[in-house]
Amino acid sequence: MDDNRLFNNWKRALLISLHLPHRANTEVLSSLEELSSLAYTLGGEVAGQIIQARAQIHPAYFFGKGKLNEIKNFIQNESVDAVLVDNPLSPKQTQNLEEFLECEILDRTQVILKIFAKNARTSEAKLQIGLAQSEYLLPRLVGLWKHLDRERGGIGASRGTGEKQIEKDRQFLRDRITRLKGQLKRVEKERNTQKQRRSNCLQVSLIGYTNAGKSTIMNLLTNSSLLVEDRLFATLDSTTRLLDKDSRPKVLLSDTVGFISQLPHELVAAFRSTLVTVKDADLLLQIIDASDDIDEHLKTTSEVLSDLDASCIPIIKVFNKIDQVSATRLMMMEKLFPDAVFISVIKGENNGLEKTSTYVENLRNKILSFFDQRMKSMTIRLDYQHSQQLANIYEWSRVDNIDYQEEGILLTLTAVPNNLELLRHRLGANFTELN
C-alpha cells in the first residue's frame, strides 16, 4: 500500500476550528494561526478560516449542522479541496464530515504527520514517521476507502470494493507496524552502545517549541552547520556534538526535534528513541521564542517533558529572538523569569556580530558553571607502577594539581560526583584517597 495514496494531496484549504468554552479566545486564534503556518510549511494555500463557538462538540459531526452548511457553501464557492480542522477528530467524525462536506478532511494531527513525512531525511526519522503514520491510519481505513469509492463514481457503482480492500490494508498496516518497531529496536540498541561509550560525558539537550532557534544556537555553540530554516519541524533527528573540547568533564550538546501544542501522541511514542537524548540529559536548555506566545510554548514543553518522564531534569530557560521584542516586553520577561538567559543569535540592525558572540559565550559559560557548582574534589595518591591510569584520570576528571612525590603521584581532582564514583571504581585498589 502506498502512503501517498492515502495521504491525498491538496492545494487550497479552508481552516476550521471549534471554540469550546474551556479555551480562551486568544488560544483558539493563535492555534489557528499556527495551523496556517503548518499548511504553508506543507506548500498549501489557505483560502479562509471559520471558527464556531459551541458549548459542546456534536458527537457525530463535531461541528453544528448550521455551521457545516456555511462551510459547505464556502468550499463550493472558493474551490477548496481540503478542510483542515484545528481539533482532534475521531475516525468516525472525520468520515461523517467527509461525507457531508464532500471534501478531504485533515485534522491537526494528520497535518503534522504529513510535515514530518515530508521533512524526514535520515533512516531513523523515516522509520519513526512510518510508524506514527501507520498507527494513525489503522483505525481510519474505513473512512479512507469510502472516500476512494466515491471518487470512483458514486457509492452505488462500486459498493463493497473498498470493504474487501480494508481487511487487506489493515493486515498490511499491522505487519508494517511490527516490522518498523523491530527496526527501531535495533536503532535503539545501537544508540545504547554509543551511550555507554559516552558515559564519562555530561549531556545537555536543547529542547523547545519548533522554530524557536534551537539549531541556530547549537551551530553557534558547537561550530556546526546543522540545517536552520524558517519553517516548522526543520529538525527531526538528534545530533550530538562536543560543547567544548577542553572542558572537564566533557559536555555534549544535543539538538533534537521541536515540540508543538497538541503534539500527536503517535509522534511522541514513535520518536521516543530520538527523544531519548532528552530523557537522558543532565541539563536541559529550553529555548523559547521571546517574540511568540510564551505561555502556550512553556505549557506545551512541560507537557511533553512529563510525557517523556523527564520533568525532574534541571532546566535553564533561554529566551531567544529578543531582537524581535520591545524593551518593555523584555523588561517584563526579565522580571518574570529572573533566572533565565535572554539572547538573540541573529545579526541584525540592533544586534551586531559582537553582541551575538557575547550572548553565545555567556550561554556557554552558564552551562559550564551549572556543572562547576555541582562538582566535588578529591585528593588521591597513585603508585608509580599504576601511572598508566593517568590517562583515565585526565579523561574522567579535571586535574587541578599534580605533584610527583617520593611515595607516589599526588593528585587533586574535580568532577561531578557520579564521575568521581566511576573513577574510584576504575582505579580499584591502585590508589589511596587522602580526603
Ligand X SMILES: Nc1nc2c(ncn2[C@@H]2O[C@H](COP(=O)(O)OP(=O)(O)OP(=O)(O)O)[C@@H](O)[C@H]2O)c(=O)[nH]1
Residues that bind ligand X (CB under 6 A): 210-216, 228-230, 232-235, 258, 320-321, 323-324, 344-346
Q: Which of 97/218 has CB closer to Mg ion? A: 218
**Of residues 93 and 254, the one with the C-beta less far from Mg ion:** 254
Give the range of 107-115, 210-218, 329-337, 393-401 binding Mg ion by CB under 5 A: 210-218
Nearer to ligand X, 133 or 286 (CB): 286
Other Cβ atoms closer than 10 A to 301: 23
Q: Measured at CB, which residue is nearest to ligand X?
A: 258
Residue 411 contact, options ligand X, Mg ion, none, Cβ 5-8 Å cut-off depending on partner type: none
Please state the closest distance from residue 269 (CB atom) to Mg ion, in A.
21
Residue 211's binding partner among ligand X, Mg ion, none (Cβ under 5 to 8 angstroms by kind) is: ligand X
Instruction: Output the CA angle 256-419-390, nearest 5 degrees.
Output: 120
Q: Does 216 bind Mg ion (CB under 5 A)?
A: no
- Closest distance of CB 356 from ligand X, Å: 8
CB of 227 to Mg ion, least distance (A): 7
* Cell 457553501, residue located: 73
Give the residue, chosen from 95, 219, 235, 286, that forms a contact with Mg ion under the rule CB under 5 A.
235
Distance, CA of 350 to CA of 258 (rounded, Å): 27
Residue 121 beta carbon to Mg ion: minimum distance, rounded to whole angstroms: 12
Contact of 121 with 171, CB cutoff 8 Å: no
Beta carbon nearer to ligand X, 15 or 212: 212
Asked if 215 interacts with Mg ion (CB under 5 A), we say yes
Smallest distance from the beta carbon of 296 to ligand X, in angstroms?
15
What does 108 interact with, of ligand X, Mg ion, none (CB < 5 to 8 A by kind)? Answer: none
Minimal distance in Å, beta carbon 214 to Mg ion?
A: 5
Rounded Cα distance between 276 and 308, Å, is 8
Decide whether 137 or 243 has the Cβ nearer to Mg ion. 243
Residue 229 binding target from ligand X, Mg ion, none, CB below 5 to 8 Å by type:
ligand X
Cβ nearer to Mg ion, comparing 214 with 248: 214
Candidate segments 35-43, 207-215, 264-272, 324-332, binder of Mg ion by CB under 5 A: 207-215
The pair phi, psi for residue 17, each rounded to 5°, is: -145, 145
* In contact, 431 and 386? CB cutoff 8 Å: yes
Nearest to 32 by CA among 90, 80, 83, 85: 85
CB of 233 to Mg ion, least distance (A): 8
Three-state DSSP class for residue 234: coil
346 binds, among ligand X, Mg ion, none (CB under 5 to 8 A by kind): ligand X
- Residue closer to ligand X by CB (options 96, 320) is 320
Q: Residue 212 gets which letter from DSSP?
A: S
Task: Give the Cα separation of 424 and 433 in Å (integer).
Answer: 9
> Which entry of Mg ion, ligand X, none binds 344, CB below 5 to 8 A by partner kind?
ligand X
Q: Minimum distance from CB of 211 to ligand X (Å)?
A: 4
Cβ pair 259, 208 in contact under 8 A = yes
CA distance 413 to 424: 11
With CB under 5 to 8 Å by kind, the binding choice for 332 among Mg ion, ligand X, none is none
Pairing of strands 12-19, 82-85: parallel
- The angle at the Cα of 238, spanning 310 to 337, to the nearest 5 degrees, equals 50
Residue 430 DSSP one-character state: S
Judge if the upstream peptide bond of residue 139 is cis by omega within 30 degrees of 0.
no
Burial 106-143 (b: 16+ CB within 10 A, else e): bbbbbbbbbbbbebbeeebbbbbbbbbbbbbbbebbbb
Contacts of 421 (CB under 8 A, 6+ apart): none
Residues for the chain: how many in total?
Answer: 435
Q: Least distance to Mg ion from the beta carbon of 431, Å? A: 44
The residue number with the shortest CB distance to Mg ion is: 235
What's the Cα-to-Cα distance from 324 to each of 316, 367, 382, rounded to whole Å? Answer: 21, 25, 56
Nearer to ligand X, 341 or 390 (CB): 341
Q: Which residues bind Mg ion (CB under 5 A)?
A: 214-215, 234-235
